[in-house]
Amino acid sequence: MDRVQQRRNRIVQCLRDQESCNVGDLAKALDVSTVTIRGDLDFLEQSGCISRSYGKAVLSSHFAFELEFREKEKVRSEAKQLIGRAAAQLVNDGDALIIDSGSTVGFVPRYVDAHKRCTLMTNALNLANELVGDVRFELMMTGGTMRADSYSLCGPIAEQAVRLHHFDTLFIGADGIDLKAGVTTTNEQDAQLNRAMLEVADKVVLLADSTKFGRRGFCVICSLPQVHTLITDRGISDEYRRALTLSGVNVIVADE
Is residue 174 within 8 Å of 206, Cβ to Cβ?
yes
Specify the pLDDT at position 177: 94
Q: Which of 35-44, 45-54, 188-197, 200-209 has the lowest mean pLDDT?
A: 45-54
Distances (CA, A) of 137 to 34, 92, 109, 181, 194: 53, 12, 9, 35, 21
- Span 187-235, pLDDT tens digits: 889 999 999 999 999 999 999 999 899 988 878 999 999 999 999 999 9
What pTM does this model have?
0.74
Do 100 and 197 touch, CB atoms closer than 8 A? yes
So what CATH class is 3-59?
mainly alpha
Helix (H) or strand (E) holding 59: strand 56-59
Is 201 or 72 the better-scoring residue by pLDDT?
201
In angstroms, rounded to a whole number, what is the distance separating the alpha carbons of residues 103 and 106? Answer: 5
pLDDT of residue 110: 95
Phi-psi region of 139 (alpha: psi -120 to 50; beta: other; left: phi over 0): beta
Give CATH for domain 69-253.
Answer: 3.40.50.1360
Q: Please check whether the two domains, 3-59 and 69-253, share a CATH topology.
A: no
Q: Looking at residue 76, what DSSP letter applies?
A: T
The ranges assigned to domains in the chain are 3-59, 69-253
Sign (positive or negative) of CA dihedral 98, 150, 211, 17: negative
pLDDT mean across residues, the chain: 88
Query: How much of the chain exceeds pLDDT 70, in percent?
Result: 92
What pLDDT is stored for residue 195 in this prediction?
A: 97
Q: Is residue 61 exposed (0-12), middle (13-18) or buried (19+ Cβ within 10 Å)?
A: exposed
